[in-house]
Amino acid sequence: MPDADAFRASILSLLANHPERAFRPHEIAKRFGVSNHGRYQTLLGVVEDLKESRAVDVLRGGRIQHLAAPTAEAEGVLSGHPHGFAFVTLHAPPDLAGQEVFVRAGRTGTALDGDTVRLALAAPERDAPDEDKRQGEVVAVVARGRAEVVGTFTVTGRMGWVAPDDRRVPRDVLVPPEDWNGATPGDKVVVSIDRFDDRRASPEGRILSVLGRADAPGVDVLAIALSHGAKASFPSDVEREAEAVPTTIGAGEIARRLDLRDAPVFTIDPADAKDFDDAIHTRDLGEGRTEVGVHIADVSHYVPPGGALDAEAYARATSTYLVDRTIPMLPEALSNGVCSLRPNEDKLCYSVILTVGADGAVERYEILETVIHSHHRFSYEGAQEVLDGADHEFADEVRRAGRLSEVLTARRMREGAIDFDVPEIKVKLGADGQPVDIVLKERRPANRLIEELMLLANRAVAEEASKRSRALVYRIHDQPDAERIAALAEYVRPFGYSLPHAEGRVSREALNDLLRQVKGHPEAPVIEQAAIRAMSKAVYSPHNIGHYGLGFAHYAHFTSPIRRYPDLIVHRLLKSYLGQATTYPTLPTTEALEAQAKHCSNREAEAAEAERESVRLKQVEFAAQHTGEAFDGVVTGVTKFGVFVQMQALLAEGLVHVREMEGDFWEYDPRRYALVGRHTGRRIRAGDACRVRIVAADAGARQVDLVFETMPGGAPSGDGDGRRSKSRAAKRAPKAVRTKATRTKGPKNRRR
């Protein structure tokens, strides 16, 4: 087709000569003087072929742009987005490791969230802003990151489809009738991804299991966990291996350990806990010195490396704590039985016994294999009663531990630890799995007591490995990213606070000072969360860089091997270094520890996200029970499409969409994180008080829709804190998206 060939060459030439512009087909036709309907249809066909063959870049609205030639290839892990685009965190080549590359929708090929991919990188733009990430295109999937997904089963015609719950997987999975495995429309299922080699088609798979009806109690929470890589049950060989573990302790094993069964040992845990992995004792040594014993379940004695039990524990890497259940790392025979430090039973432990001075300084410590006998099991509430003065046979020991924890906390604060004391949410559920109340977990001195003693032990074992110059899996926390700190400083400025920093480098003292200043003010939750988001993420690594948030040069996780695999690794390594029980036939290499640390960090992140999402689900369900009711709230976030508000009585968040905000022409000011009324000068920003009414709640979308009963914010009062007067607002409107509330259509995805 001569016309088609000519059009193709002309279009590519046009785009190459105007690389910064994007064109719609009718704009191209106008440039080429195409008015004949037949020739216009030919041009449209050529444009579609160019899109299909990836010869051009396709932008929103069907516009096409010159496709920059790739200059290099790289590999990394892809993180998908519900809107189809993705980011790839590179690990190769080494000089690009850690960098993030943006991949447009339509350029991800057959890659799905979590896949390791090979990218063709576009040339970096000269003088591009830092926030404009380098772009690339997926050219191959190196390894699949997931072999299955969880979703809702439907049938269209003769074919079955599974719509994934995880919106990072934007493609429905096709399932032929012979592979439905008893699923019926409306079931929540686990489906495999067996084939996906054509981006124009859908992934294909088989129904692996049916979880139950999508609306059945508990199925929604289980689906969340499975979507984030948790496993609902243990393989039969793992269960058999766990059941075969001896439940009694031999005399020879007791004889080779330090026998602490007569020591005043007790546990303090949540009232509903079943896996007790730590116990403590204290003794007064005189002259202000205290002996502290931190006794940790000796999981490494029962779970040797290399077996099915160890392989499954490593694959899970962590227990997953959901709103209505716990999915354990180890089978219950171990986690709630043999390993759990239940009261009035002899148990094997790996202990750190420390001598601590009156000022909180550790004078000496030993790391020993022990046998203990917990003489009492305290809940946090019961221990708090003792701290408050209630009589108990272990009152002296508990109060001594409480006084010591206060000294240790004060010492950490003086040494520069950051005090993020953000309350957690607890959802109370009825028998049907529906939320009946949402409350804040109270973090009282009894909680801090255990936290401080666990920090003490974790720090000691990390220092021991460092002194011996031996490898360990450390818990590290890098300094915060300079750009995020600079953004945080800008964020708090309109509230009247300052965060001194030097080009994004900030001291822990400055952060603590900010947190102390906001404590007790209405904007405190908003600023505390913003500060947490500005921090780096704590991860596991054999390369120690210290823990910025705690202010520790050496820190590792040692105190929870029942529920965290890195703790089990640390136990095994320490026993090997200290000449205790043989746990590793051959010590792992640094490369092996790097891989294990990375896997455990990834699993921890997925488990934490599953927990947050399960809580969010119940928050939305709780809000749905109050549709039509009004609540006092506080603005937690402002975007160009609306205002996020937390309802204080419900502890649930919702969105007032900008299209529901009548009475003004709203403009988003990104420099001040505010919506500004063009005519009234009213400014809405995080921390503002308001009153909202719930108009809808969609648990599936995790979305609560609100409208204002009482508007937040007020008119600007001057320029001292970055605010502007009404007259200046009219003259110098912010560079922003200007939308009239009653006419604006919001994005399909309202979630932040």
In a domain, 231, yes or no: no
Give the position of tokens 């609560």. Answer: 704
Q: Is the pLDDT of residue 743 over 50?
A: no
Position 2 scores a pLDDT of 57
The reply to whether 339 and 447 lie within a common domain is yes
Final residue of a domain: which of 143, 159, 185?
143
Position 247 scores a pLDDT of 93
CA-based R_g, the chain, Å: 29
In a domain, 600, yes or no: yes
Q: Classify the C-alpha dihedral 559-562-565-570 as positive or negative.
A: positive
The reply to whether 356 and 504 lie within a common domain is no
Q: Is the pLDDT of residue 398 over 70?
A: yes
- Residues paired with 439 in a beta bridge: 426
The reply to whether 182 and 210 lie within a common domain is yes
Tell me whether strands 116-122 and 136-143 are parallel, antiparallel or unpaired.
antiparallel
Final residue of a domain: which of 558, 579, 607?
607
Q: Is 718 left (phi over 0), alpha (psi -120 to 50) or beta?
A: left
Q: Is the pLDDT of residue 380 over 80?
A: yes
Position 535 scores a pLDDT of 93
> Which DSSP string do the residues of 219-231 spell out, in sequence order?
HHHHHHHHHTT--
In a domain, 169, yes or no: yes
Range of the domain at 500: 475-548
CATH number of the domain encompassing residue 161: 2.40.50.700
Position 717 scores a pLDDT of 46
The reply to whether 309 and 448 lie within a common domain is yes
CATH number of the domain encompassing residue 15: 1.10.10.10
In a domain, 122, yes or no: yes
DSSP 733: -
SS3 track for 520-558: CCCCHHHHHHHHHHHCCCCEEECCCCCECCCCECCCCCC
Position 197 scores a pLDDT of 87
Q: What is the tens place of the pLDDT at every residue in 230-289?
A: 998 999 999 999 999 999 999 999 999 999 999 999 999 999 888 899 999 999 999 999
In a domain, 620, yes or no: no
Kindly provide the residue ranges of all beta strands, DSSP E only, lying in 240-277, ordered along the sequence.
258-260, 267-269
The reply to whether 379 and 315 lie within a common domain is yes
Average pLDDT value for residue range 521-532:
84
Average pLDDT value for residue range 75-81:
93
CA distance 34 to 276: 77
Final residue of a domain: which of 499, 527, 548?
548
Q: Percentage of the chain with pLDDT > 90?
A: 68
Q: Is the pLDDT of residue 705 over 90?
A: yes
The reply to whether 358 and 413 lie within a common domain is yes
The reply to whether 674 and 575 lie within a common domain is no
The reply to whether 393 and 327 lie within a common domain is yes
Contact 724, 732 (CB under 8 A): yes
Position 333 scores a pLDDT of 96
In a domain, 651, yes or no: yes
Q: How many domains does the chain have?
A: 6
Q: What is the tens place of the pLDDT at every residue in 627-644?
A: 999 999 999 889 989 999
The reply to whether 513 and 659 lie within a common domain is no
Q: What is the tens place of the pLDDT at every residue in 190-200?
A: 999 999 988 88
Lowest mean pLDDT among 203-212, 494-503, 649-658: 494-503
Q: Percentage of the chain with pLDDT > 70?
A: 93
How high does pLDDT run on average in the chain? 89
The reply to whether 173 and 107 lie within a common domain is no
pTM: 0.83
Lowest mean pLDDT among 52-56, 347-351, 368-372, 526-530: 52-56
The reply to whether 679 and 726 lie within a common domain is yes
Position 52 scores a pLDDT of 80
Closest CA to 257 of 371, 347, 350: 371
Position 132 scores a pLDDT of 60
CATH number of the domain encompassing residue 75: 2.40.50.140
Closest CA to 137 of 178, 100, 108: 108
Q: Classify the C-alpha dihedral 120-126-127-128 as positive or negative.
A: negative
Residue 450, class by beta-carbon neighbours within 10 Å (0-12 exposed, 13-18 middle, 19+ buried)?
A: buried
Question: 748 falls in which pLDDT band (50, 70, 90)?
Answer: very low
Closest CA to 600 of 563, 571, 555, 545: 563
In a domain, 510, yes or no: yes
Question: 126 falls in which pLDDT band (50, 70, 90)?
Answer: low
Position 255 scores a pLDDT of 96
The reply to whether 663 and 728 lie within a common domain is yes
Residue 345, class by beta-carbon neighbours within 10 Å (0-12 exposed, 13-18 middle, 19+ buried)?
A: middle
Closest CA to 379 of 302, 453, 269: 269
Q: What is the tens place of the pLDDT at every residue in 566-595?
A: 999 999 999 999 999 877 888 999 999 999
pLDDT greater at residue 402 or residue 52: 402
Position 71 scores a pLDDT of 65
In a domain, 616, yes or no: no
CA distance 428 to 392: 30
Position 718 scores a pLDDT of 44
